[in-house]
Structure 1
């Protein structure tokens, strides 16, 4: 079972502000769990958010195709 993280714990893992995490939750850009009135983020949901935002680097062939 995944660990449930508080907003400040998720922010610490991403090296960002708690406000950013709360905005992601408010905009429903990240999956979250409501436990009563408390909001928690599953560790796997945080990892999925990171993977979804990952941008692959360009290769040399990508650059030469765009220049042609």
Structure 2
């Protein structure tokens, strides 16, 4: 399942702008769908498990 930056921001409790500006620094893998930025749910879960346990 692909998540929008807004959905990822809800999970991480940050603003969507923060997700768009920081996802590379955080090491979150992204995918482009046309011009839109999307994130795989499993990549976000893996990021959370690696960094917030």
TM-score bin (small chain): 0.7 to 0.9
The two structures, once aligned, show a CA RMSD in angstroms of 1.7
Alignment correspondent of 1:15: 13
Distance 1:42 1:48 in 2: 10
Cα distance in 1 for partners of 2:21, 2:46 equals 17
Matched residue count: 53
2:52 counterpart (47, 51, 54): 54
Rg comparison, structure with higher value: 1
In the superposition, the TM-score normalised over structure 1's length comes to 0.64
> Aligned partners of 1:38 and 1:16: how far apart in 2?
19
The answer to which structure has the higher helix fraction is 2
Question: Could you list the runs of 5+ residues in structure 2 that have no partner in the other structure?
Answer: none
- SS at 1:30 equivalent: coil
By how many angstroms is 1:28 displaced? 6.3
Distance 1:46 1:39 in 2: 14
Q: Which consecutive segments of 4 or more residues in structure 1 shift more than 6 A?
A: none
